[in-house]
A and B are shown apart, each in its own frame.
Chain A
């Protein structure tokens, strides 16, 4: 990022290509829509470019980037009013045939839907904290930085999220 701020445009390309998949995956899990996630992924990097001169090299770049993406996602969710994070979206219907038998495929799809539905039912901030921990593998401190919060607050958010998920997924876990 420092290289880009100093005028190296190729550095920006490296940043985008290094992080775009992770940002997209994070946004998809937050929003449940591939199209919206792609648009906001683009917007995240546009905002990064605009804010480049305010970048603090001593801060952690990953937390900064996920803060921008998280703010975008929460802003979009607020605007939706009615949550459109629907588990029945067909965004993943085109998954390639892996050769497993139909019953296994069906079970796998049901599990994916159950996970997406369970995530969608969490409050936005709990979902954000959980996704950053579970799928992006950020530390509590990094999550706190990304969400402009504190480590104890993040601990509490994650605990509440896991408690809700345990209840929600009980029937699936027993299978």
Chain B
């Protein structure tokens, strides 16, 4: 392999990764001995590999076995989803309570004179609780 004919980038990378058969690898090794440009190219590939090796080493926090073993397919993840749903519902309740606040409705029937109907609804949301108070009064003529 002459200096004029440099190996293509993917070929040099395959050489760097040791992914070539021995005869091809030998040809490239001979070329690189003579070719400063290809030696520089190889040095750069090595530098990138060294740099990538400085990346973080992630550690699995806990084994996933207890969550995947047969018969336990209703996994902890499902429980987490359920917990997230309950939390979301509570959060929605709180937001609803803050936005609406205590509201009082008072209504009196105007059509039925025999029934004085008074209803008071108080909604006071303190997170998950809501109080509905209705008072019905029946008035006799």
A76 proximal to B (CB < 8 A): no
Question: Which of under 10, 10 to 19, 20 to 34, or 35 or more describes the interface residues of A?
Answer: 35 or more
14 further A-B pairs in the complex, CB-CB below 8 A; given A13-B65, A38-B64, A116-B55: A9-B69, A9-B70, A24-B60, A25-B57, A38-B60, A38-B61, A46-B73, A92-B56, A92-B58, A115-B52, A119-B52, A133-B17, A163-B9, A165-B48
Q: Which residue of A has the minimal Cβ distance to B62?
A: A38
Size bracket, chain B contacts? 20 to 34
CA distance A130 to B51 in the complex (A): 13
Q: How far is the CB of A170 from chain B (nearest CB, A)?
A: 9
A45/B64 in contact, CB under 8 A: yes
Residues of A within 8 A of B (CB): 9, 12-13, 16-17, 20-21, 24-25, 28-29, 34, 37-39, 41-42, 45-46, 49, 91-92, 95, 108, 111-112, 115-116, 119, 130, 133-135, 139-140, 155-156, 158-159, 162-163, 165-166, 169, 172-173
Min distance, Cβ A91 to any Cβ of chain B, angstroms: 8
A169 to B46, CA, bound (A): 13
**Cβ A155 vs Cβ B48 within 8 A:** no
Dominant SS among interface residues on chain A: helix
Closest to A42 in B: B64
Q: A9-B70, A140-B17, A169-B51 are in contact. Are A116 and B56 (CB under 8 A)?
A: yes
Does residue B36 face the partner (Cβ distance < 8 Å to A)? no
Nearest residue, chain A, Cβ from B14: A155
CA distance A134 to B45 in the complex (A): 12
In the complex, A13 Cα to B64 Cα: how many Å? 10
Instruction: Write the nearest CB–CB distance from B30 to chain A, whole angstroms.
Output: 21
| Chain A residues within an 8 Å CB radius of B27 | none
Distance A134 CA – B61 CA, assembled complex (angstroms): 23
- Determine the distance from Cα of A102 to Cα of B68 in the docked complex, in whole angstroms: 41
Q: CB distance B48 to A169 under 8 Å?
A: yes
Among A12, A159, A162, A163, residue most surrounded by chain B Cβ atoms (within 10 Å): A162
Partner among B17, B55, B63, B70 whose Cβ is within 8 Å of the Cβ of A115: B55
Contacts of A38 in B (CB 8 A): 60-61, 64
B63:A20 contact, CB within 8 angstroms: yes
Closest A residue, CB atoms, query B53: A134
Residue among A21, A42, A112, A173 having the largest count of chain B Cβ atoms under 10 Å: A42
**Contact partner, B60, options A9, A21, A139, A158, Cβ 8 Å:** A21
Known: A12-B70, A25-B57, A116-B55. A42 touches B75 (CB 8 A): yes
CA distance A28 to B59 in the complex (A): 9
Question: Provided the pairs A29-B58, A42-B75, A155-B13 are in contact, do residues A162 and B45 lie with their beta carbons within 8 angstroms?
Answer: yes
Contact B63 A28 (CB under 8 A): no
